[in-house]
Chain A
Amino acid sequence: MDLYSDTRDVPFDSRTITRHRRGRFWRFVYGASTVVGIVVLILLLLNVINSVFGFSAIENRIQPDDLAINGIPIESLHKNDLVFILEQNLSAGLIRRLADDLPFEERSRENVYDLVIEWVVDPEVIASWSLFDSIFNRDRIAEEMAERYPAADLKFLSWLTWKFITTPQSSDPENAGVRTAILGSLYVIGITIVFSFPLGVGAAIYLEEYADPKRQINRLIQTNINNLAGVPSIIYGILGLAIFVRLLSVLTSGAIFAGSAGDATANGRTILSAGLTLGLLILPLIIINAQEAIKAVPSSLRLASFALGGTRWQTVWNHVFPSALPGILTGTILAISRAVGETAPLVVIGASTFITSDPDGPFSKFTVLPIQIYQWTSRPQAEFHSIAAAAIIVLLVLLLSLNATAIFLRNRYTQRL
Chain B
Amino acid sequence: MTKEIHMTAVQTDNEDITAALRRKPRFNEIVIQSFLFICATVSILTTIGIVYELGKESMNFFLKVQWEEINKTLAEPLSETDGVLLTGTSGAAIAEGDLIRIDQEQMMVLSTSDLTLEIERGVNNTGIAPHSAGRVIYLARDVSLLEFTTGTRWSPQVGSFGIWPLLNATLMTTVIAMVIALPLGLGVAIYLSEYASDRTRNTLKPIMEVLAGVPTVVYGYFALTFMTPLLRLVFGADTVSIFNTASAGIVIGILVIPLVSSMSEDALSAVPRALREASYGLGATKLETAIQVVVPAAFSGIAAAFIVALSRAIGETMIVAIAAGAGPAFTFNPFQSAETMTGHIVRISGGDLSYDSIDYNSLFALGLVLFFFTLGLNVVSQRIVRRFREVYE
CB distance from B105 to the nearest CB of A (A): 31
A389–B36 CB distance below 8 A: no
B374–A399 CB distance below 8 A: no
A34–B204 CB distance below 8 A: yes
How distant is the Cα of A117 from the Cα of B31 in the complex, in angstroms? 64
Interface-lining segment among A1-9, A16-24, A157-165: A16-24
Which residues of the other chain, B, contact A280 by a CB distance below 8 angstroms? 46
Given A30-B188, A40-B211, A374-B217 in contact, is the A348-B349 Cβ separation under 8 Å? yes
Q: Which one of A227, A232, A343 lies within 8 Å of B315 (CB-CB)? A: A232
A395–B218 CB distance below 8 A: yes
Quick check: is A231 within 8 A (CB to CB) of the other chain? yes
CB distance from A398 to the nearest CB of B (A): 10
How distant is the Cα of A336 from the Cα of B46 in the complex, in angstroms? 19
Given A19-B288, A377-B322 in contact, is the A239-B50 Cβ separation under 8 Å? yes
Q: Which one of A27, A44, A231, A243 lies within 8 Å of B286 (CB-CB)? A: A27
CB distance from B281 to the nearest CB of A (A): 16
Q: Which one of B26, B185, B187 lies within 8 Å of A29 (CB-CB)? A: B187
B349–A347 CB distance below 8 A: yes
CB distance from B21 to the nearest CB of A (A): 12
How distant is the Cα of A226 from the Cα of B377 in the complex, in angstroms? 13
A202–B187 CB distance below 8 A: no
Contacts across chains A and B counted by CB atoms under 8 Å: 258
B188–A37 CB distance below 8 A: yes
Q: Which one of A26, A37, A198, A385 lies within 8 Å of B208 (CB-CB)? A: A37
Which residues of the other chain, B, contact A348 by a CB distance below 8 angstroms? 345-346, 349, 363
How distant is the Cα of A242 from the Cα of B60 in the complex, in angstroms? 14
How distant is the Cα of A241 from the Cα of B254 in the complex, in angstroms? 30
Quick check: is A403 within 8 A (CB to CB) of the other chain? yes
Q: Name the residue of chain A whose CB is nearest to the CB of B53.
A: A242
Which residues of the other chain, B, contact A31 by a CB distance below 8 angstroms? 191, 195
Given A388-B221, A395-B215 in contact, is the A232-B374 Cβ separation under 8 Å? yes
Q: Dominant SS at the A interface?
A: helix
Which residues of the other chain, B, contact A373 by a CB distance below 8 angstroms? 217-218, 221
Interface-lining segment among B37-45, B124-132, B272-280, B329-337: B37-45
B36–A210 CB distance below 8 A: yes
Which residues of the other chain, B, contact A241 by a CB distance below 8 angstroms? 349, 363
A228–B367 CB distance below 8 A: no
**Residues from 195 to 235 in A contacting B, C-beta threshold 8 Å:** 198-203, 205-207, 210-211, 218, 220-221, 223-228, 230-235
How distant is the Cα of A55 from the Cα of B190 in the complex, in angstroms? 44
A221–B342 CB distance below 8 A: no
**Residues from 344 to 393 in B contacting A, C-beta threshold 8 Å:** 345-346, 349-350, 352-353, 355, 363-364, 367, 370-371, 374-375, 377-379, 382
Q: Name the residue of chain B whose CB is nearest to the CB of A206.
A: B36
Given A34-B191, A337-B213 in contact, is the A202-B370 Cβ separation under 8 Å? no
Can you list, as one digit per residue, whether each of B309-340 has a CB less than 8 Å from chain A (1) or not (0)? 00110111110011000000000000000000
How distant is the Cα of A47 from the Cα of B26 in the complex, in angstroms? 61
A227–B226 CB distance below 8 A: no
Quick check: is B299 within 8 A (CB to CB) of the other chain? no
- What count of chain B residues pass the 8 Å CB interface test? 89
Which residues of the other chain, B, contact A343 by a CB distance below 8 angstroms? 215-217, 317-318
Query: Which of B32, B220, B221, B291 has the largest number of chain A CB atoms within 10 A?
Result: B221
Q: Name the residue of chain A whose CB is nearest to the CB of B208.
A: A37
B43–A284 CB distance below 8 A: yes
B224–A203 CB distance below 8 A: no
**Residues from 174 to 196 in B contacting A, C-beta threshold 8 Å:** 183-185, 187-188, 190-192, 194-196
Given A225-B43, A234-B346 in contact, is the A378-B322 Cβ separation under 8 Å? yes
List the interface of chain A (C-beta within 8 A of B). Answer: 19-20, 22-23, 26-27, 29-34, 36-38, 40-41, 43-44, 47-48, 51, 198-203, 205-207, 210-211, 218, 220-221, 223-228, 230-239, 241-243, 246, 280, 283-284, 287, 311-313, 334, 337-338, 340-344, 347-348, 350, 370, 373-374, 377-378, 385, 388-389, 392, 395-396, 399, 403
Q: A34-B204, A206-B36 are in contact. List 11 more A-B contacts (CB 8 A).
A: A30-B195, A37-B258, A44-B218, A47-B221, A199-B39, A206-B37, A232-B374, A234-B342, A235-B54, A239-B49, A337-B213
List the interface of chain B (C-beta within 8 A of A). Answer: 26, 28-29, 32-33, 35-44, 46-47, 49-50, 53-54, 57, 183-185, 187-188, 190-192, 194-196, 204, 207-208, 210-211, 213-222, 224-226, 254, 257-258, 261, 285-288, 291, 308, 311-312, 314-318, 321-322, 342, 345-346, 349-350, 352-353, 355, 363-364, 367, 370-371, 374-375, 377-379, 382
